Structure 1
Amino acid sequence: MAFTLAIVIFIICYLFIISEKINQALIALFGGVLLILTKIYTWKDAFIQYIDWNTIALLFSMMVLVSITKKTGLFTYIAIIFAQKVKGAPVPLLIGTALLTAIGSALLDNVTTVLLFVPIILTLTKILQLPTFPYLLTIIFSSNIGGTATLIGDPPNIMIGQAVEHLTFLSFINNLGPLVILLFAFMLAFVVWRFRNELVMQSNLVEDLLKINAKEYIHQSPMVYQSVAVLGLTISGFLLHPFLHIDLTTVAVFGALLLLMLTERELDTEKVFQEIEWITLFFFIGLFMLVGGLEEVGAIDELARYIVWITEGDLPLTAILLLWISGLISQIINNIPFVAAMIPVIEEFRAYGMANVDPLWWALALGACLGGNGTLIGASANVVVAGLAEGEGENISFFRFLKYGVPLVIFSMLLSMIYLYFRYLRPFLNPLFISIIN
């Protein structure tokens, strides 16, 4: 009974979320409370086991850092300089945004990257009167693709790297980097081609843009230097994570609290908190509670065991099935609990006589990270971008995003399957399967 009830509550809430008729955070939280009322789990279970407070704290801390830094005019200054360098040309602006987002997501985490870039892009599109959707879509796609390339770029990769000691930072770059570069190039070409008619430069606005003195937008006060210093210190902490062994959340929380203390006399803390995207944070809490219901009744574990049963321990078939299932599921629920459920399952595959299960790790990482591009709730970065955009009056429709996200995920899975086949799986295929493929 509990199994069916948890799935029904999740499906109904998900349908309301994609309908966008009621606030998404409200629906997610309501579903989570329903799970508690129906005794699927308790408040204690929700707070201790299922709500990922590390993610919530990381998001909150970065929102604080970005909010204070935004007050200094730094983002506007960067936006104007960036736009002037490309002379306001919409397509080069889009390409530059994509490159910077992808690189930032690979070196930092994708949530931090979008928190830094979205305010800049929203400022630029307003100055140049350009449509925001193509740029926000590009940021989401670039962050998820770029984050796939490294151990710290996306939460699923961090989890896999922590579970498998020999998969180092360089291992991820070496094994996933080539595919990520190829996928990024295809994605960028598609977005530029699809929105080429909408990305039109208005010469009068460009002339006005080039006349702007960007320095005038910087508020000359100690807060500017304090914000830049603390933001730089925080980002450095992220980059040095493999060496310092201090988790990203601790670095972000320390940075946020330090900046709040340094700027308290100039900017009241209450005003900073008023500008936090609370709706986004509560939406995450609700989503964690909804997915926690599926975890509590064993729905995710059952899916993992079902994969093992279907493939009967065959490595190539398991890798391909794992790629597609993780890619499809990551469009519907957050990829973190699925990866958590699959890690011990993959580790048990050695008992089936598999000497090398590394292809399974790469299949899981690719499916979970790239699958997040499918829907607005498929990855943390997607939800954050949508929340920041809504805060500026730029609503991203769930179904409009779906129209671009799902085809990209299907293409990504096909390309990933080909990549896995030629780089890892071909030596393990039996002769009959090879003859069928060829």
Structure 2
Amino acid sequence: MSTMLALLIFIVSYVLIMTEKWNRALVALAGGVLLLITNVYQWEEAFGFIDWQTIALLFSMMVLVSITKKTGVFTFVAIRLAQLVKGRPVPLLLVTATFTAVGSAFLDNVTTVLLFVPVLLSLIDRLKLPAFPYLLMTIFCSNIGGTATLIGDPPNIMIGQAVEHFSFVSFLYHLGPIVALIFLAVVSIVVALFRKKMTYNKELAEELMRMDAFEHLKVSKLLIQSLTVLALTIIGFMMHPFVHMDITTIAVSGALLLLFLTDKELDVEHVFQEVEWVTLFFFMGLFMLVGGLETVGVIDEMARGMVWISGGDMPITSMVMLWSSGILSGIVDNIPFVAAMIPVVQELQGYGMMNVDPVWWSLALGACLGGNGTLVGASANVVVAGLAASYNQPISFVRFSMYGIPILILSLAMSSVYIFFRYLIPFL
């Protein structure tokens, strides 16, 4: 009975999260509470299922970016980059791709698009350029760039917390090469598709060149403090294997240090108000939902099923994981999918598959790149669509999918070749 209840609550919650008729954090938490009401598990177990390290890491990065944003440095950089290419449409599209990908890798993709898209929409409106190619490029590159690092995309954060020997450098080393290749391929395709539809207006470009980007930059002690602590935190992520300190501790330390340094200039309560609490509570509810499946043994049965399908064969398991996570993450948000699959991969080790690192990398690539399939495939997509609608530049679900699905298939095909030659040949 408890198995059916846990499954029913999980499926209904999942469907409601997909439809977005209610706030997804509210739905996830309601599902977790229903599991408590129906005695699938107790409060002590529920809190045990929540990955508090992931929550603390996300919270810390939100605090760091929230304070840094007040200096105007992100707006300043965006305007200067547009001026660097003299407002020319195609170079601006390339700048958009690069800025979004790099920012998504080192800040996280949701934060990057929240900071960059309003500035981008303002710039392209000033230059009278079509918004869709730039928004499309932003979404694609936010998910591609976020795939490269441990903190770039929520699925990677969750995987990094689940596997002790994965570090910030591990993600760059293992996923960086294929991410760079996919980035180049996708950018080339988008530029080829839209370059003839973007007209250069010399007069408007000259107006952009006359803008003073420094008007948006608040040169102060806060700027130096914010950039210094943010840089030290990112360096700490990279040095994590050598300093023997987990990335969550590094992120929390960075956030606390910046809060102490800016305590007299900024109201801590105001900084906390700007934290994306809805996202954090969504994660908590999600962990509780997946914990219900783990309690009743569904996760264990999923692992058995995967071993049965693949016959315990590592190449088949990796490819099944890559394509299933890619396709399903294109249909639904990749966060709940990864939350459900992490314990499945962990269970595989109990069935004789001792080195499951190729499966982990397949899951990371599939889930993060799968977000490009549809407009609801990743949190960054939903954020960009919402911002675009608020600027009267709505993105059609069908129109986006016409570009997103081919890009997804290309990305998964390239990832398959990479995974096979880099990891799976020894298993043949």
Alignment TM class, shorter chain as reference:
0.7 to 0.9
Deviation at 1:119, TM superposition (A): 0.8
Q: Decide whether aligned partners of structure 1 residues 241 and 199 sit closer, same or farther in structure 2, where only a CA change above 3 A counts.
A: farther
Task: Find the aligned partners of 1:425 and 1:223 in 2 and give their Cα distance.
Answer: 49
Q: Decide whether aligned partners of structure 1 residues 400 and 54 sit closer, same or farther in structure 2, where only a CA change above 3 A counts.
A: farther
Which runs of 5 or more residues in structure 2 are unaligned? none
Which deviations, in whole Å up to 9, do the C-alpha atoms of 1:230-272 show, x marking residues without a partner? 2222222222222222222222222222222222222222222
TM-score (norm 2): 0.81
1:325-404 equivalences under 5 Å are 325-331=324-330, 332=332, 333-346=336-349, 348-349=351-352, 359-360=358-359, 362-374=361-373, 404=403
Asked if 1 retains the 8 angstrom alpha-carbon contact of 2:139 and 2:372, the reply is: yes
1:35-434 equivalences under 5 Å are 35-49=35-49, 51-103=50-102, 105=104, 108=106, 111=108, 114-116=110-112, 118-129=114-125, 134-135=133-134, 137-149=136-148, 154-155=156-157, 158=160, 162-163=164-165, 176-194=175-193, 196=195, 203-331=202-330, 332=332, 333-346=336-349, 348-349=351-352, 359-360=358-359, 362-374=361-373, 404-422=403-421, 425=424
Deviation at 1:222, TM superposition (A): 2.1
Which deviations, in whole Å up to 9, do the C-alpha atoms of 1:280-332 show, x marking residues without a partner? 22222233333333333332322111011122223433332233234345454
Q: Decide whether aligned partners of structure 1 residues 267 and 147 sit closer, same or farther in structure 2, where only a CA change above 3 A counts.
A: closer
TM-score (norm 1): 0.79
* Aligned position for 2:31: 31
What SS is found at the alignment partner of 1:162? coil
Task: Find the aligned partners of 1:387 and 1:252 in 2 and give their Cα distance.
Answer: 28
Asked if 1 retains the 8 angstrom alpha-carbon contact of 2:286 and 2:339, the reply is: no
Task: Find the aligned partners of 1:16 and 1:185 in 2 and give their Cα distance.
Answer: 36
| Count of residues in Structure 1 that have an aligned counterpart in Structure 2 | 418
Asked if 2 retains the 8 angstrom alpha-carbon contact of 1:277 and 1:387, the reply is: no
Q: Decide whether aligned partners of structure 1 residues 170 and 426 sit closer, same or farther in structure 2, where only a CA change above 3 A counts.
A: same
Task: Find the aligned partners of 1:394 and 1:62 in 2 and give their Cα distance.
Answer: 29
Which deviations, in whole Å up to 9, do the C-alpha atoms of 1:335-378 show, x marking residues without a partner? 14413431341474358xxxx86654544443344334446675
Deviation at 1:417, TM superposition (A): 2.8
Deviation at 1:84, TM superposition (A): 0.7
Deviation at 1:211, TM superposition (A): 0.7
Task: Find the aligned partners of 1:398 and 1:292 in 2 and give their Cα distance.
Answer: 32
Task: Find the aligned partners of 2:183 and 2:201 in 1 and give their Cα distance.
Answer: 28
Task: Find the aligned partners of 2:247 and 2:168 in 1 and give their Cα distance.
Answer: 15
Identify which range, 339-348 or 207-216, moves more after superposition: 339-348
Q: Decide whether aligned partners of structure 1 residues 279 and 395 sit closer, same or farther in structure 2, where only a CA change above 3 A counts.
A: farther
Deviation at 1:46, TM superposition (A): 2.3
Is residue 17 of structure 1 aligned with residue 17 of structure 2? yes
Task: Find the aligned partners of 2:72 and 2:426 in 1 and give their Cα distance.
Answer: 56
> Identity of counterpart residues, as a percentage?
55
Q: Decide whether aligned partners of structure 1 residues 241 and 75 sit closer, same or farther in structure 2, where only a CA change above 3 A counts.
A: same
Asked if 1 retains the 8 angstrom alpha-carbon contact of 2:168 and 2:237, the reply is: no
Which deviations, in whole Å up to 9, do the C-alpha atoms of 1:83-132 show, x marking residues without a partner? 111222343233223334434555x4x62x55246413422321332666
Task: Find the aligned partners of 1:293 and 1:266 in 2 and give their Cα distance.
Answer: 44
Q: Decide whether aligned partners of structure 1 residues 103 and 190 sit closer, same or farther in structure 2, where only a CA change above 3 A counts.
A: same
Identify which range, 253-262 or 388-397, moves more after superposition: 388-397
Which deviations, in whole Å up to 9, do the C-alpha atoms of 1:40-69 show, x marking residues without a partner? 2233222222x2222222222222222222
What SS is found at the alignment partner of 2:63? helix
Identify which range, 141-150 or 34-43, moves more after superposition: 141-150
Q: Decide whether aligned partners of structure 1 residues 220 and 401 sit closer, same or farther in structure 2, where only a CA change above 3 A counts.
A: same
Asked if 1 retains the 8 angstrom alpha-carbon contact of 2:118 and 2:387, the reply is: no
Task: Find the aligned partners of 1:383 and 1:325 in 2 and give their Cα distance.
Answer: 22
Asked if 2 retains the 8 angstrom alpha-carbon contact of 1:156 and 1:369, the reply is: no
Task: Find the aligned partners of 2:47 and 2:393 in 1 and give their Cα distance.
Answer: 32
Asked if 2 retains the 8 angstrom alpha-carbon contact of 1:83 and 1:124, the reply is: no
